[in-house]
Structure 1
Amino acid sequence: MEKLKYRIKNIGPGALVAAAFIGPGTVTTCIKAGAGYGYTLLWALLFSTIATMILQEMSARLGIISQKGLGENIREKVLSPVLKSITVVIIILAVFVGNIAYETGNLVGGALGINTIVPSVPVTVWAPILAALAFLLLWSGSYNRIEKVLIALVLIMSVVFLVTALMSRPDWGAVLKGLFVPATGKTGWMTVIGLIGTTVVPYNLFLHASSASERWKNVEDLKSARIDTVVSIGLGGLISMAIVVAASANLYGTGNQVANGADMAKAFNPILGSWSGLCLGIGLFASGFTSAITAPLAAAFATSGVLGFGKNMKDLKFKGLWIVVLAFGMVLSALGKSSPTQIILLAQAANAIILPVVALFLMYCMNHRGLGRYKNGALQNILGSVVIAVTLLICIRNLTSFFSSLFALV
C-alpha cells in the first residue's frame, strides 16, 4: 500500500503531457474520426500512444540526467553556428508561432464547453475569461500548483469520457479489429495524421524535459519518471480511444455532421440524454483549459531554451514568452472570425508534419556522449527511428491534402 501511495504521489510531469495532448483538438478529431469512420482508425491512436510513450520517456530521461530542457540541450549540442541558427528558427516557427494557433483553439474549445452549459454568454466572452484565469495560474510561477490543477482536470476528463464509452455498449469485436488491423476507410488519411498529431505533440517533448528536470533531481528518480510516463500517457490514450468509441457507437452511419459543440454532444445523446450537453461541456472545458495552460508554458520552455534564457518560471523573460502566446490566443479567440473546428483539425495535422523534425533533434541529443550510460541504447534508437519513419511516411503521403485544406481555410 505504501509503495502504491508513493507511485501515485510521483505522478506529475507525465500528467502535464496528458493534459496537453487531451485538448479540444483531441475531442474534436476523435469525435469526427468515430462519426466518420467508426472503429477503423483506433489503430492510429494505439500507435500514437505507444509512440508518445517512447519519445516522452527519452525527453524525461534527457531532462533528469542533464537537468536541462530539450531547447537548452539542442543549443548546447548543435555546435555548427549555421545549423544552430537554422535550428533556432525551426523551433521558434514550429513551437512558438505554432502554439499561438493552438492556444486560440484551446481557449475557444474551453469556452465552447462553458457555453454549452451557460449558452446565454457567448464563446467570445468566455474565451478571454479563461485566458485571464490561465494568466493568473501561470504568473504564480509555481510548478507544483500548476501540476495539481492539471492532474485534477485530467481526472475529470477521464471520468466523463471513459464512463460514456462504456455506457455506449460498443461492438467490442469491431473495437479490437480497429485497434490491431490498420485501415483508413476511403478518405481517412488526413484524419489519421490528425489523430497522430493530436497525440504525439512536438511541443510536449520540450514540456516534458523541462518539467521532469523541475520535478526530479537524481538519477534514482528515472524509474519513477518512467512509471509516471507510462501511466499518464496510457490514461491519455485511453481517453482518446474512449471518445472515438463513443462517437462510433452513437454517430457512425447516422449521417450526422460534426461542425460544432452541439453536433459533438450528439455522440453522448443516446446514453446521457439531456445530460449530454453538460458532460460534453465539462469535458471540453477541462481539455481546453489544461491545454490553454500547457501550450504557452511549453512554448516558453522551448524558446527560452534555444535562445539561452534559461527555464526559471519566475524570470521576466520566461514570463514574457508565454504572455505573448496567451495574449495572441486571447485576441484571436475573442474575434471569433474563423471556424474553431476547422482551425483545431488543421492544427492537429500540422502537429504531425512538424513532429519528425523535432523528434530528430531529440534523438540527436539522446545519442550525445555527454549523457554517458543514460544515452539511447540500440533498442531505444530502433524504436525511435520506427516512430519517426512511420510518421514521416504518413505525413509525406498527405502533404498535398494538408496544403489544400490550409488554402481552403485561408
Structure 2
Amino acid sequence: MKNIFKSVGPAIIVAAVVLGPGSILTSSKVGANLGIAALPVVVIAAILMIAMVALSARLGAVYEKSLCDELASRLGRWVSVAIGLTLFTLVAFFQSSNNVALLGGIEPMLGDGQLSFGPRCAIIVTANVLIIGFLYLLPNLYKSVESVMKILMALMGTAFLVNFVVIFAKPRGFEPIVPTGDTDWLALLGMIGTTFSIGGAFYQAYLVKEKGWGLGEVKEALTDSVVSITMLGGMTAIILLTSWRVFYGHPDPVEMKSVADVARQLEPSFGVSAKFIFCGGILAGALSSFLVNAMIGGTVMSDSLGLGARLQDKWPLHMTALALLVGMGVAIASLAQEGSTVALITIAQACTVIGLPALAASLIYLGTRKDLVGERKVPQAMIVVAVIGFCVSCVLACLTANKVYAKLNAPPAAEVQVDDASESPPSEADTDEE
C-alpha cells in the first residue's frame, strides 16, 4: 500500500484538473435528471480514461522527446502546431467555466442574493492575478503543483463523501416520481467529456517527464494512472448519487440555473452545513482546475511551436498566462450578458469532446510505432482500449456538435427552458473545448 501511494503523482494532477467545477456541476445535473441509470456511464468513461492516461504516461516514459516534438519529426511541424492550437483553444475556453464556477462556489456562502457585476469581476480578476503570480514566482512549479493537487483532491473527496453519508443517512422526505420532462442529454455528454478528458490524458506524458520518470518507471506510471483516475471516477459517482438522492423524482423540480441553486437546495432538507460543504467542494475543484488547465494548453502550444516543453522554460509559462487571460476575458463577457451559470458550464464541458479525436489519434499513432520494441513496446491491450476510446470520442464529438447546434438555434421560448444556453460565450465563439 505504501508503494502504491508513493507511485501516485502525475496522474493525480490530471485527475484534479478533470474533476473541476464543470465536472461537479454536470454530474449533479445528470444525477438530478437521469438518476442512478447514468452510473454505468461514469464507470465506462473512467475505464477509457485510465487506458488513455496510461498510454500517454508510457509514451512520456519511453520517448526521449516530447509528444509534439515526436509528431513534428515524424509527420511535420504543421501537425504538431495543429495539435497545439486545438488543445490551446479548447483549454482557453474551458478556462472561462472555471472562472464562472469559482463565483458559484463563493456566492452561496455570502448570502442568498447574487453579487453585482462589479464585485463578481473583481473576484475573477483577483483570482487570475494571484494564479499568474504563483505561476512565475514558484521556484519548483511541478513539485508545488503536485503537492497542492494532492491536498485539493483530498479536500474534494472528504467534502463530497461527508455530504454523501449525511444525505443518505437521513430520510428522503418525499416519494420520488419518474420525471416527465425532456432528458438533458447535453449535460450527460458534458459529464462524459469531463470524465474521459483526452486533453488531460495527452498532458500526462508531459507530467511524467516533469516527474523525471523514464523507462525504469513504467510500472509506477501505470499504477499512478489506475489509482488516480479510479479516484476521479469514484468521486464523480459520489456526486451523481448525492444529486440523485436529493433531486431526482422530486415532486417540485428545481431548475438548476446557477451553482447557487444546486447548493442552496441542499439546505432545507439537510441543513446549512450541506450547502457549505458542497460549496467547499466546488471551490476546491475550481482551484485545482484553474492553473493546471491553463498549463495544459500553454505547455502543449509552446511545445508544438518548438519553443520548449518544460515548466522551467519561459514560453510554456507565457502561453499558460495567455490561456488564463483569455479564459478570464470570456468569463467576464459572459457575466456582462447575465447568462445562466450552469448553462454556460454545461455547454463548455460538453464541448470538451469536440476536436479531441485528433489528440486520441496522436497518442495511438505514437503508441504503435515500429521502433517501440522490447521494454519500450506498448501493451496491445492498452492500444485496443485506447482505440475504443478514440471511437467513443468521435461519436461524442458528432453528438455534441448536433446538440450544441440545436440548443443555440432553439426559438426564444425554448431558450428559456434550456437555461439560456444561447448566451454561452464559449459556444458562440467556438464549438471547441478542452
On whether the aligned pair clears a TM of 0.5, the verdict is: yes
Task: Give the aligned partner of residue 220 of structure 1.
Answer: 216
1:29 to 26, 47, 51: 26
Contact 1:28-1:341 within 8 A present in 2 as well:
yes
Contact 1:257-1:263 within 8 A present in 2 as well:
yes
Q: Please report how far the alpha carbon of residue 349 of structure 1 lies from its aligned counterpart in structure 2 after TM superposition.
A: 1.5
Task: Give the aligned partner of residue 108 of structure 1.
Answer: 100
Q: Please report how far the alpha carbon of residue 219 of structure 1 lies from its aligned counterpart in structure 2 after TM superposition.
A: 1.8
Relative distance call for 1:245 and 1:283 in structure 2 (3 A) is same
1:188-267 aligned at under 5 Å gives the runs: 188-254=184-250, 255-266=253-264
Does 46-55 or 205-214 show the bigger shift?
205-214
Task: Give the aligned partner of residue 110 of structure 2.
Answer: 118
| C-alpha distance in structure 2 between counterparts of 1:21 and 1:40, whole Å | 22
Contact 2:107-2:260 within 8 A present in 1 as well:
no
Letter in 1 for 2:24: V
Task: Give the aligned partner of residue 311 of structure 1.
Answer: 309
Contact 1:69-1:302 within 8 A present in 2 as well:
no
- Per the alignment, in what secondary structure is the counterpart of residue 39 of structure 1? helix
Task: Give the aligned partner of residue 388 of structure 1.
Answer: 390
| C-alpha distance in structure 1 between counterparts of 2:56 and 2:319, whole Å | 22
- Per the alignment, in what secondary structure is the counterpart of residue 305 of structure 1? helix
How many pairs are equivalent? 389
Task: Give the aligned partner of residue 328 of structure 2.
Answer: 330
Does residue 288 of the first structure (1) align with residue 293 of the second (2)?
Answer: no
1:362-377 aligned at under 5 Å gives the runs: 362-373=363-374, 374-377=376-379
Letter in 1 for 2:384: I
Task: Give the aligned partner of residue 347 of structure 1.
Answer: 348
| C-alpha distance in structure 2 between counterparts of 1:267 and 1:27, whole Å | 16
| C-alpha distance in structure 2 between counterparts of 1:107 and 1:406, whole Å | 22
Contact 1:346-1:405 within 8 A present in 2 as well:
no
Does 336-345 or 278-287 show the bigger shift?
336-345
2:52 to 51, 55, 65: 55
Contact 2:56-2:201 within 8 A present in 1 as well:
yes
Letter in 2 for 1:88: V
Letter in 2 for 1:37: L
Does residue 157 of the first structure (1) align with residue 137 of the second (2)?
Answer: no
Q: Please report how far the alpha carbon of residue 272 of structure 1 lies from its aligned counterpart in structure 2 after TM superposition.
A: 3.9
Relative distance call for 1:224 and 1:32 in structure 2 (3 A) is same
Q: Please report how far the alpha carbon of residue 393 of structure 1 lies from its aligned counterpart in structure 2 after TM superposition.
A: 2.6
1:136 to 133, 138, 143: 133
CA RMSD, Structure 1 to Structure 2 (Å): 2.3
| C-alpha distance in structure 2 between counterparts of 1:105 and 1:200, whole Å | 18
| C-alpha distance in structure 2 between counterparts of 1:224 and 1:358, whole Å | 24
Q: Please report how far the alpha carbon of residue 162 of structure 1 lies from its aligned counterpart in structure 2 after TM superposition.
A: 2.0
Q: Please report how far the alpha carbon of residue 98 of structure 1 lies from its aligned counterpart in structure 2 after TM superposition.
A: 1.8
Letter in 1 for 2:224: D
- Per the alignment, in what secondary structure is the counterpart of residue 258 of structure 1? coil
| C-alpha distance in structure 2 between counterparts of 1:42 and 1:326, whole Å | 33
Q: Please report how far the alpha carbon of residue 56 of structure 1 lies from its aligned counterpart in structure 2 after TM superposition.
A: 0.2
- Per the alignment, in what secondary structure is the counterpart of residue 217 of structure 1? coil
Q: Please report how far the alpha carbon of residue 228 of structure 1 lies from its aligned counterpart in structure 2 after TM superposition.
A: 1.2
| C-alpha distance in structure 1 between counterparts of 2:384 and 2:3, whole Å | 32
What fraction of aligned residue pairs are identical, expressed as a percent? Answer: 24
Unpaired stretches in structure 1, ≥5 consecutive residues: 172-184
Does 237-246 or 196-205 show the bigger shift?
196-205
| C-alpha distance in structure 1 between counterparts of 2:12 and 2:129, whole Å | 23
| C-alpha distance in structure 2 between counterparts of 1:316 and 1:391, whole Å | 33
| C-alpha distance in structure 2 between counterparts of 1:30 and 1:267, whole Å | 16
Contact 1:100-1:326 within 8 A present in 2 as well:
yes
Does 193-202 or 337-346 show the bigger shift?
337-346
Task: Give the aligned partner of residue 95 of structure 1.
Answer: 87
Does 28-37 or 63-72 show the bigger shift?
63-72
Q: Please report how far the alpha carbon of residue 170 of structure 1 lies from its aligned counterpart in structure 2 after TM superposition.
A: 8.8
1:297-347 deviation digits (Å, cap 9, x = unpaired): 101221122111121213222211011111122233344224332221112
Does residue 403 of the first structure (1) align with residue 405 of the second (2)?
Answer: yes
1:132-178 deviation digits (Å, cap 9, x = unpaired): 2221222225210111111101110001112222333299xxxxxxx
Q: Please report how far the alpha carbon of residue 86 of structure 1 lies from its aligned counterpart in structure 2 after TM superposition.
A: 5.0
| C-alpha distance in structure 2 between counterparts of 1:170 and 1:275, whole Å | 15
Task: Give the aligned partner of residue 276 of structure 1.
Answer: 274
Relative distance call for 1:97 and 1:393 in structure 2 (3 A) is closer
Q: Please report how far the alpha carbon of residue 231 of structure 1 lies from its aligned counterpart in structure 2 after TM superposition.
A: 0.9
- Per the alignment, in what secondary structure is the counterpart of residue 310 of structure 1? coil
Relative distance call for 1:331 and 1:395 in structure 2 (3 A) is closer
| C-alpha distance in structure 1 between counterparts of 2:8 and 2:268, whole Å | 35
| C-alpha distance in structure 2 between counterparts of 1:100 and 1:398, whole Å | 19
Relative distance call for 1:53 and 1:250 in structure 2 (3 A) is same
Letter in 2 for 1:85: W
Letter in 2 for 1:196: I
| C-alpha distance in structure 2 between counterparts of 1:55 and 1:355, whole Å | 12
